[in-house]
């Protein structure tokens, strides 16, 4: 009887250990995806719009969208509020850049609004970084 209890205990320990390591692995994957998103959005926010032009901004927005999709899928409902705010601020920027239709003159004429929208993206990114820092102890986005 003792042998059976010991076997059951060992099985429970291995099962729980497997769940913990799976969760840790999931956190690691989520962290990597969020770090990738952070890097791509940071690149976007740091761009010099008049130097890269509307097409350069659009190219980076496409890269950000891909990273956002991956991070959102990886994070699931975790950081939903922060990812939603980031998506919203990025969508505002996407809509604005689309209105330029590759016309750098329009971009130049609207540079102040573009900078304001890019700043809003940066703020949403900082909020995401703070949430990740407090929820995933081994994950830092802004390093």
Q: Cα 49 vs. chain centroid, distance in angstroms?
A: 22
Q: Say how far apart CA 5 and CA 84 lie, in whole Å.
A: 48
Task: Report if residue 7 sits inside a domain.
Answer: no
Q: Is the Cβ–Cβ distance between 103 and 56 less than 8 Å?
A: no
Task: Report if residue 21 sits inside a domain.
Answer: no
The confidence score (pLDDT) of residue 51 equals 92
Task: Report if residue 117 sits inside a domain.
Answer: yes
CATH at 124: 1.20.120
Task: Report if residue 140 sits inside a domain.
Answer: no
Task: Report if residue 24 sits inside a domain.
Answer: no
**What domain range is 121 assigned to?**
29-135
Tokens for 15, please give them.
Answer: 């099962």
Look at residue 78 and give its three-state secondary structure. Answer: coil
Look at residue 49 and give its three-state secondary structure. Answer: helix
Task: Report if residue 18 sits inside a domain.
Answer: no
Angle of CA points 128, 132, 134, to nearest 5° = 120
pLDDT in tens, 74-84: 998 899 999 99
The confidence score (pLDDT) of residue 19 equals 31
Task: Report if residue 3 sits inside a domain.
Answer: no
pLDDT over 70 percentage in the chain: 81
Kindly give, in sequence order, each residue whose CB lies less than 8 Å from that of residue 45, ignoring residues fewer than 6 positions away.
118, 119, 121, 122, 125
Q: Is the Cβ–Cβ distance between 35 and 139 less than 8 Å?
A: yes
For 79, phi and psi rounded to 5 degrees? 65, 25
pLDDT in tens, 91-139: 999 898 888 777 778 888 888 999 999 999 999 999 999 999 999 888 8
How much is the average pLDDT of 6-17? 37
pLDDT over 90 percentage in the chain: 50
Number of domains the chain contains: 1
How much is the average pLDDT of 55-66? 93
Task: Report if residue 6 sits inside a domain.
Answer: no
């Amino acid at each position: 009887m003792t042998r059976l209890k010991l076997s059951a205990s060992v099985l429970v320990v291995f099962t729980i250990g497997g769940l913990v390591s799976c969760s840790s692995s999931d956190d690691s994957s989520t962290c990597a995806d969020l770090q990738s998103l952070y890097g791509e959005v940071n690149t976007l926010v740091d761009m010099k719009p008049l130097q890269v032009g509307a097409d350069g901004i659009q190219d980076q927005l496409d890269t950000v969208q891909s990273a956002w999709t991956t991070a959102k899928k990886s994070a699931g409902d975790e950081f939903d509020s922060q990812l939603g705010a980031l998506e919203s601020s990025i969508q505002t920027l996407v809509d604005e850049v689309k209105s330029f239709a590759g016309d750098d003159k329009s971009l130049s004429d609207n540079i102040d609004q573009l900078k304001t929208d890019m700043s809003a993206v940066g703020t949403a990114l900082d909020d995401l970084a703070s949430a990740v820092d407090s929820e995933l102890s081994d994950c830092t986005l802004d390093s």
